[in-house]
Amino acid sequence: MSPLPAPRTFRVKSFGCQMNVYDGERMAELLAAQGMEAGSEDADLVVLNTCHIREKAAEKVYSDIGRLRRDDGSSPLIAVAGCVAQAEGEEIMARAPSVRVVVGPQAYHRLPELVAEAAQGARASDTEMPADAKFAALPQRTRVGPTAFLTVQEGCDKFCTYCVVPYTRGAEISRPFAALLDEARALVERGAREITLLGQNVNAWAGEDARGRAVGLAGLIRALAELPDLLRIRYTTSHPTDMDADLIAAHADTPKLMPFLHLPVQSGSDRILKAMHRSHSAESYLRLLERVRAARPDIALSGDFIVGFPGEAEADFRLTLELVESVGYAQAYSFKFSSRPGTPAAEMPGQIATAVTDARLQRLQAAINRGQLAFNAASVGQRCMVLVERRGKHPGQWLGKSPWLQSVHFTGDASIGDPVEVELATAGPNSMSGRLLHLATA
Ligand code: 5AD
Ligand code: SF4
């Protein structure tokens, strides 16, 4: 391929999960550290940081590549990163000649080198998966803002039969305790007041604290809670199997740990859970939630659901609806089963017709929305801290999150990054209005 002028401006576009948002920020910091400038629509280098979890996400990449073509027929230097790069790197190179760089989620610390090779006229790719190599090679955090993500754990060893994550993100690894404390300190120094710890199985995080003692996620959370200017800690996504007693206890004994738990269950039918290779039953999941609620009675619960998994009968689906009713989720995500090549579920008999899956999804989403509105309505009158994240649409209006992760808007005298105390005043399905009481003292 012909050489290109070395790119001076870049744009990173992230799809999918919060970890991709985090990876996208770190790629942007890496490129900025090379002297490149964050650019607009017409940047010289465009990084598509992709998601492979469901079909539509992967298809989007190809249409995005097409859309990057300029009126004169030329394209920016296109790099495909993320899980589609990992899973389909070779196909992308073959199908989309304008893609010059392919880089997997465990190799993106090499992005500047690969871009330099590509600018010389090569097509460069790296989808190696060395455990934990990239973090040590990344520059210091430079992003600012009141809320930040921090990847503490990556990869998954659970091999649910529908899921590509164990193949695209690799085996479970935990980043070391000291590196995480350093990164958290850097984020707090630059203005972060809330940190969300990220991992595909974040509650499987394990490490050694400063004194060499073995600690789990609860120990890490308690250590982070010692940072004076850090006001709030969250974590996502957890697996029921790794929800240990210490983490449940942390919800009772660590005030900075927010009363929110995203704990995917996927289905309310034990038959389907078994076929999904989930290691819990509906009953064991409900018992676990009882223990969490005993530790932190006001905890807001969230989950993930898949409808139309192969073999799912109407009776199985009803059990999912029943579980949703009995948990009383504050929010939840629901997805249509998407057959992913290479996963066991793609080959299973009993694939469900699209019309059936569509109808089930609608019924499930209606139940989830009812639950969400009920949860919000029950919060009216509560006084709580809202961390101001950004301006609202109207003059003098501000937006932030309640401890229970509800979006709250209010008007009054505040600025971004302030912890303010509000009284929750009215409830909608997706947000709440608040009445500003005063600046909260953390
Ligand atoms: N089809 C549909 N949903 C999926 N998820 C993961 N893989 C699939 C798939 N093949 C959902 C699960 C998971 C969330 C991140 O995405 O609910 O918890
Ligand atoms: Fe995928 Fe299951 Fe691992 Fe979650 S626990 S990332 S759904 S394999």
- Residue 121: the pLDDT is 87
Give tens-digit pLDDT for 41-78.
Answer: 789 999 999 999 988 777 888 899 999 988 888 889 99
Residue showing tokens 């057959």: 339
Mean pLDDT of 83-101: 92
Residue 1 pLDDT level (bands cut at 50, 70, 90):
low
Ligand nearest to the CA of 20: 1
Average pLDDT for 320-327: 98
Atom of ligand 2 nearest to the CA of 159: 8
Asked if the model's pLDDT at residue 245 lies above 80, the reply is: yes
For the cut 80, the answer to whether the pLDDT of residue 441 exceeds it is no
Atom from ligand 2 closest to the CA of residue 166? 8
Q: What is the per-residue burial (b if ≥16 Cβ within 10 Å, else e) of 64-80?
A: bbeebeeeeeebbbbbb
Q: Is 17 in the pocket of ligand 2 (CB under 6 A)?
A: no
Q: Is 4 in the pocket of ligand 1 (CB under 6 A)?
A: no
Tell me the average pLDDT of the chain.
94
Q: Where is mean pLDDT largest: 59-73, 94-108, 354-368, 428-442?
A: 354-368
Cα(330)–Cα(408) distance, rounded to whole angstroms?
Answer: 14
Q: Rounded to whole angstroms, how far apart are CA atoms 371 and 204? A: 29
CA-closest residue to ligand 2 atom 2:
160
Contact between residue 80 and residue 52 where contact means Cβ atoms under 8 Å apart: no
Q: What are phi and psi of 236, to 5 degrees?
A: -165, 145
| Alpha helices in 138-176, H assignment, sequence order | 165-168
Reported as a single tens digit per residue, the pLDDT across 333-383 is 999 999 999 999 999 999 999 999 999 999 999 999 999 999 999 999 999
Question: What does pTM read for this prediction?
Answer: 0.95
Q: Is the CB of 66 inside a 6 Å radius of any atom of ligand 2?
A: no
Q: Is the CB of 246 under 6 A from ligand 1?
A: no
Closest ligand 1 atom to Cα of 338: 1
Q: How many residues does the chain have?
A: 442
| Ligand 2 neighbourhood includes 156 CB (under 6 angstroms) | yes
Label residue 40 by pLDDT band (50, 70, 90): confident
Going by pLDDT thresholds of 50, 70 and 90, the confidence category of residue 442 is very low
Judged by average pLDDT, the poorest of 96-100, 205-209, 260-264, 362-366 is: 96-100
**How many Å apart are CA 417 and CA 193, to the nearest integer?**
7
Residue nearest to atom 5 of ligand 2 (CA): 158
Percent of the chain with pLDDT over 70: 98
Q: Assess whether the C-beta atom of 158 lies below 6 angstroms from ligand 2.
A: yes
CA–CA dist 168, 164 (Å, integer): 6
Give the distance (Å) from ligand 1 centre to CA of residue 53.
6
pLDDT at 56: 78
What is the spatial order of strands in the sheet that 331-336 belongs to? 260-262, 300-307, 331-336
Q: What is the mean pLDDT of residues 412-441?
A: 91
Q: Would you place residue 439 in the very low, low, confident or very high pLDDT band (cuts 50, 70, 90)?
A: low
Written as one letter, the residue type at 223 is A
Please give the Cα distance from 331 to 334 (Å, whole number).
10
Tell me the per-residue pLDDT of 117-161, one tens digit each, with 9 for 90 and over: 999 988 999 999 887 789 989 998 987 799 999 999 999 999 999
Neighbours of 186 (CB within 10 A): 16
The pair of structure tokens assigned to 221 is: 């959370």
Residue 275 pLDDT exceeds 70: yes
